[in-house]
Amino acid sequence: MFFATYWPILRFVAGYWLRFPRMLTALVVARIASSLLDVTVPVASGWLVDAVASDPARHLAPAIEALALFLGLIAGFFVLRNSVGLLINRMTVDAMQALVREAFAKVQRFSADWHANAFAG
């Protein structure tokens, strides 16, 4: 039921999204990369806790390295996540513009076809 109901909608939307292959590829890559960064943040957090817990007064370098890694992962995650939002908004706007252009052309063609057929004889 679910698949039969939404399959035509998915095909319709995918048809417009596939018109922008570079943007779609960038969107998918950015989303996968942001998910991978999100998954690695707890690991980096654990390394930071271990580095701080192991007498940071004598060995400060591992704690600073772990903190730099943690902050880098967080910054990368937020940059990629915001890029995903911007990319999907841009791609949606481009797809909607194409949809409206095609719909308007089809509606205009209907009246031209009617005039051509009605007054043809």
Q: Which pair of tokens denotes residue 15?
A: 């048809």
pTM of the model: 0.76
What are 53-111's pLDDT values in tens digits? 887 667 788 889 999 999 999 999 999 999 999 999 999 999 999 999 999 888 887 77
Backbone angles phi, psi at 38, to 5 degrees: -65, -35
Nearest-CA neighbor of 22 among 101, 87, 103, 113?
87
Could you give the CA distance from residue 13 to residue 91 in angstroms, rounded to a whole number? 11
Beta-carbon contacts of residue 18 (< 8 Å; ≥ 6 apart): 24
What are 1-55's pLDDT values in tens digits? 677 889 999 999 899 999 999 999 999 999 999 999 999 999 999 999 998 888 7
With contact defined as beta carbons under 8 Å apart, do 17 and 90 qualify? no
